[in-house]
Structure 1
């Protein structure tokens, strides 16, 4: 019987109505504090995971993992592409010609990076073909001078499929009449939308048209390379360059998007740390609860000691009581956090549609919706951390209860 004493008495103390309602109130506040802390921690980490996932799948799905270039340009690029595809880490290769320029239409001007692509090769290294809102990449036929714009870029230029836009490139043409900027008229044949800020800064044209515009002849700007693991892009790029020899230059995705990825990772760690402090504060509220319970139950503790309960059993009673309060709070927090993490994207979308408010503008942020991605590892770590803090918060009150001397308490009873 005495072996089961800590569990029986500890659980009874949790269920019993108290003469001192303030103690019950503090217990409730401790439990709700843990629930709120765990809920917020799961929700926020899920949102940060969502941003991280969107960065990998959307932005890094549009931005090449690495680029291989050769000055002044690659001529027999098919041979080089076959050579790169023989590498274990390489899963896709596509040629490109890049040209920075400014689009103009109806008095609206907007800068953008225009990439000349071969639609037959592009699907190996980019997800743009999967996010075409209007038209298709196959419409980028050579000699047609068609262009595919991002949705934000098209909105800023106020153009749609079939409209004409003028591209001004930062190179001058010398004619008998003087020096003029180089201009070329394109027809908008498609609009893509990946829900990121890249929709406002990217455009695609046929690679042969861009070769003509850039005056490269049969040369291309370089090869875009897709890897099986984007986190090995740095080492793999260096290995490719070393293997190809002098004159080749490699640039991986960290040159353009690495700082954003690192910022998200740092924010996730810092927010997780700060929210863990909230959980710690809620957990240590259990200390005050149990200290008051120990004071209130001094006579009960003395009686238990006189019938044979050991100090260890007395400690166990209050550890069980504190852990029960904590586990209930943690369980409710996990339940609420999981439900919110799975529905927060839909809730925010509904709120935006109902009240006409846009929380995330892809022109400012890199996504246009609030992403959420629930990971079991995060839930496990949160539960273990909250449980550990709850256990630590029970030790001091339980130790004080074990030091109660029966003779001192029962002397005047």
Structure 2
């Protein structure tokens, strides 16, 4: 019965028209603060989740999960090495490649980047590039036809499109004369353009592996073999097992050597952002303390009357816990609704803002991906909701305890 009385009186105090408008204003501010803090926290966590997911898909989809190479100039008998690699239970496929750094020239423009010589039929099994072509395809790479596939960033900086000519200059196999060093150069025809919307768009180009072998004078050698695993996050363990499986003349590395720091930084940033934004919710929640302290002072006579009618200190305490918690509950629910709605529609909102003001919020040539991703995880929403509600309940304890300690005789002395 006491619980129902505490609930009824607490709800009545919350819903009743307050004579002190300043108390009402403070209560409204705390409610809005909790809602805004919850919205920001859910949205930022979703953006961090989106960045982590998109980077994992787009960057780790383009870079090798594991690289197997031979110490020295390159891998000699790559088909035999491939047979040994694919026997591992966690390996999906392996593909040879020849890579070299190059300078690209076209229409008076120059660009520096990486050239990869690949076998199209094998590259499809170890890379996501086939899903991101905006013109042409991997199948357009034919041996001895000297075709080249460009990332959209490279194509734009050179001002070229399908069918245009691009001159490649490389230092490998260059000639030295009294006039100085002359790099090797060869004209290629653009047969494909891809857009992964990551750093690969402005760095990576592809040619057929036979053309790359002829251009770099590697003969039958390949630079290394690219390996795709079942679980990219466990690639380091697969690399460790392959290292023990192969001869000592081979070296094995995984993506953690090149991009591991990036993903560790994202994980740390997500944790730190969560902690810092939780403090915003905490500040708003503890505004409830101010509100309830003022309410307790304003309701001294009411508390005294309830005590004289038989209400216990525990009942008085529950009344004010209900009142303060209800403000926090309403603010949290409004924040969750707003945060979930914003997180789900954030890419569209950002795209609208970019189109409206003609700006690029996430430039692809500056960041690792060229758009603002958002991925809502319901476990994050549940955690944020639980933390916000816990903080609001915690904030009510002291004012409620103070109310329960009110002496009826003292409170009614001057009434």
TM bin, normalised by shorter chain, reads over 0.9
Query: Who is 2:222 aligned against?
Result: 220
How far residue 332 of structure 1 moved from its aligned partner, in angstroms, is 0.1
- TM-score normalised over the length of structure 2: 0.97
Contact 2:166 2:187 in 1 (8 A): yes
Aligned equivalent of 2:340, options 326, 338, 352: 338
Query: Structure 2: which 5+ residue stretches go unaligned?
Result: none
Contact 2:146 2:189 in 1 (8 A): yes
For 1:214 and 1:39, the matched residues in 2 are separated by 55
User: 4+ residue runs of structure 1 moved beyond 4 angstroms?
Assistant: 175-179
Is 1:303 the counterpart of 2:300? The answer is no
Secondary structure of 2:223's counterpart equals strand
Listed as ranges, the matches of 1:280-291 within 5 Å are 280-291=282-293
Q: Which is worse superposed, 276-285 or 164-173?
A: 164-173
How far residue 83 of structure 1 moved from its aligned partner, in angstroms, is 2.1
For 2:261 and 2:105, the matched residues in 1 are separated by 31
Query: Who is 1:397 aligned against?
Result: 399
For 2:200 and 2:266, the matched residues in 1 are separated by 17
How far residue 375 of structure 1 moved from its aligned partner, in angstroms, is 0.5
Listed as ranges, the matches of 1:322-333 within 5 Å are 322-333=324-335
Contact 2:64 2:254 in 1 (8 A): yes
Give per-residue Cα distances to partners, 1:35-60, cap 9 Å, x unaligned. Answer: 00000111111111111111011111
Secondary structure of 2:125's counterpart equals coil
How far residue 177 of structure 1 moved from its aligned partner, in angstroms, is 8.0
Q: CA RMSD in A?
A: 1.4
Contact 1:31 1:328 in 2 (8 A): yes
Secondary structure of 1:18's counterpart equals coil
For 1:38 and 1:188, the matched residues in 2 are separated by 50
Contact 1:172 1:180 in 2 (8 A): no
How far residue 175 of structure 1 moved from its aligned partner, in angstroms, is 7.2
Query: Who is 2:98 aligned against?
Result: 97
Secondary structure of 1:162's counterpart equals coil
Query: Who is 1:110 aligned against?
Result: 111
Query: Who is 1:259 aligned against?
Result: 261
Q: Which is worse superposed, 6-15 or 325-334?
A: 6-15
Secondary structure of 1:46's counterpart equals helix
Give per-residue Cα distances to partners, 1:227-257, cap 9 Å, x unaligned. Answer: 1222222222122112102111112112222
How far residue 176 of structure 1 moved from its aligned partner, in angstroms, is 7.8
Q: Which is worse superposed, 314-323 or 210-219?
A: 210-219
Query: Who is 1:191 aligned against?
Result: 193
How far residue 411 of structure 1 moved from its aligned partner, in angstroms, is 2.6
Alpha-carbon distance change, 177 to 3 in structure 1, aligned in 2, over 3 angstroms:
closer
Query: Who is 1:209 aligned against?
Result: 211
Q: Which is worse superposed, 69-78 or 124-133?
A: 69-78
How far residue 172 of structure 1 moved from its aligned partner, in angstroms, is 4.6
Give per-residue Cα distances to partners, 1:197-233, cap 9 Å, x unaligned. Answer: 2100000110111112222211211111111222222
For 1:156 and 1:256, the matched residues in 2 are separated by 25
